[in-house]
Amino acid sequence: MSKIYDALIKLENHKRPRAKTVLPRWRNDKAAPLGLPRKGISLEWRIIGTIAGTMLVLGLLLVAAMSQLMGRALRAQIDQRALVITINLSESAAGHVLAGNILELHALVTKYARLDGSAYAFIEDSKGRIVAHSLSTFPPELADTLTMNERRRVDRRVVSLQGKTVYETRTPILEGQAGAAHIGIWGETVATEIYTALLPIVGLITGLLLAAVVLSVFLGRRIIPSLINTASKMRVGE
Distance from C-alpha of 94 to C-alpha of 99, rounded to nearest angstrom: 9
Distance from C-alpha of 73 to C-alpha of 60, rounded to nearest angstrom: 20
User: For position 36, what pLDDT does the model report?
Assistant: 41
Q: Which residues contact 136 (CB under 8 A, 6 or more apart)?
A: none
Domain boundaries, the chain: 80-195
- Residue 116 gets which letter from DSSP? T
Distance from C-alpha of 223 to C-alpha of 60, rounded to nearest angstrom: 26
User: For position 231, what pLDDT does the model report?
Assistant: 66
Write out residues in the chain with pLDDT < 70, as ranges.
1-44, 146-148, 224-225, 227-228, 231-238
As a dihedral over the C-alpha atoms of residue 14, residue 19, residue 24, residue 28, rounded to 10 degrees, the angle is 120
User: For position 165, what pLDDT does the model report?
Assistant: 94
User: For position 223, what pLDDT does the model report?
Assistant: 75
User: For position 26, what pLDDT does the model report?
Assistant: 42
User: For position 5, what pLDDT does the model report?
Assistant: 46
Q: CA-based diameter of the chain, in Å?
A: 140
- Residue 10, Cβ density class (10 Å: 0-12 exposed, 13-18 middle, ≥19 buried): exposed
CATH number of 80-195: 3.30.450.20
User: For position 177, what pLDDT does the model report?
Assistant: 86
Distance from C-alpha of 72 to C-alpha of 70, rounded to nearest angstrom: 5
Distance from C-alpha of 133 to C-alpha of 94, rounded to nearest angstrom: 15
User: For position 169, what pLDDT does the model report?
Assistant: 95
Distance from C-alpha of 229 to C-alpha of 238, rounded to nearest angstrom: 14
User: For position 105, what pLDDT does the model report?
Assistant: 94
Task: State which amino acid sits at residue 75.
Answer: R
**96 with 104: CB under 8 angstroms?**
yes
Phi and psi at 22, nearest 5°, equal -75, -40
